[in-house]
Amino acid sequence: MSRYAFLLRLKPGTGPDYDKAHTAVWPELLTVLKDAGISDYSIFRRDELLVLTMRIEGDFEAAWKRISEAEVNARWQNAMAEYFAPQQETRPDERFPMMQEVFYLP
């Protein structure tokens, strides 16, 4: 199982509403995430900056492809789209602005 972290940015002023939306993540979406091999998924927020961390059983891209194909994910992404600033920090061949782990204390 591998650990991953990446960054996202919210539009200014949308943080409280984004937080509220995540107090009631749809159970069917949580099932899709778990079925794709994701566990220990956390989102941390400081103002508009989000840091997302997770463990994935298997390949990151394969897991995200599986999630992307789920109808409930399309609905969730549509609902969340109003909160996100355009992604400007990705590098070629990145789905999200990925972070490199440089230290881990188990």
Task: Tell me, yes or no, if 79 is annotated catalytic.
Answer: no
Instruction: Collect all residues with Cβ–Cβ distance below 8 Å to 70 and sequence separation of at least 6.
Output: 29, 32
* Number of alpha helices (DSSP H) and beta strands (DSSP E) in the chain: 4, 3
Annotated catalytic residue: which of 3, 11, 22, 95?
22
Q: Do 56 and 4 meet the contact criterion of CB atoms below 8 Å apart?
A: yes
Q: Do 76 and 26 meet the contact criterion of CB atoms below 8 Å apart?
A: yes
- H-helix or E-strand spanning residue 82: none
Active-site annotation, residues:
22
